[in-house]
């Protein structure tokens, strides 16, 4: 089963508090990147939020996030800030890259 970023974060929160839903709902750790997305909160979770969480987990070590050995972690598939469940065509990938470069002022 493929998880969406939102489901992965909700399940991660439950795992964090030993599957006690009420504790996850009443979590007080506002420093956690997932705090606004804990169970019973509305809205979708961005893969960028998961990336931020992974960087928090590794004290900002981008290389460790890239090579993270914790493959059983629910966040692992999303750690690079992308959703592996979405497959883009080559044309769409090129179009998005061009738009990104244009937005950051590096247009080719």
pLDDT of residue 43: 85
pLDDT of residue 96: 84
> Residues of 70-86 as b/e, b for ≥16 C-beta within 10 angstroms?
eeebbbbbbbbeeeeee
For the chain, what are the domain ranges? 5-103
Q: What is the pLDDT of residues 73-97, one digit of tens each?
A: 999 999 999 898 888 888 988 998 8
Is the pLDDT confidence value at 18 over 60? Answer: yes
Nearest to 45 by CA among 5, 85, 3: 5
Q: What is the pLDDT of residues 25-75, one digit of tens each?
A: 999 999 999 999 988 888 889 999 999 999 999 999 999 999 999 999 999
């Amino acid at each position: 089963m493929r998880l969406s970023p939102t489901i992965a974060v909700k399940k991660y929160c439950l795992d964090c508090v030993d599957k006690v839903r009420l504790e996850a709902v009443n979590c007080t750790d506002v420093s956690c990147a997932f705090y606004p997305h804990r169970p019973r909160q509305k809205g979708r979770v961005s893969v960028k939020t998961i990336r931020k969480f992974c960087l928090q987990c590794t004290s900002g070590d981008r290389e460790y996030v890239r090579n993270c050995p914790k493959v059983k972690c629910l966040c692992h598939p999303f750690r690079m800030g992308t959703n592996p469940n979405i497959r883009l065509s080559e044309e769409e990938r090129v179009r998005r890259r061009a738009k990104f470069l244009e937005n950051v002022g590096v247009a080719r």
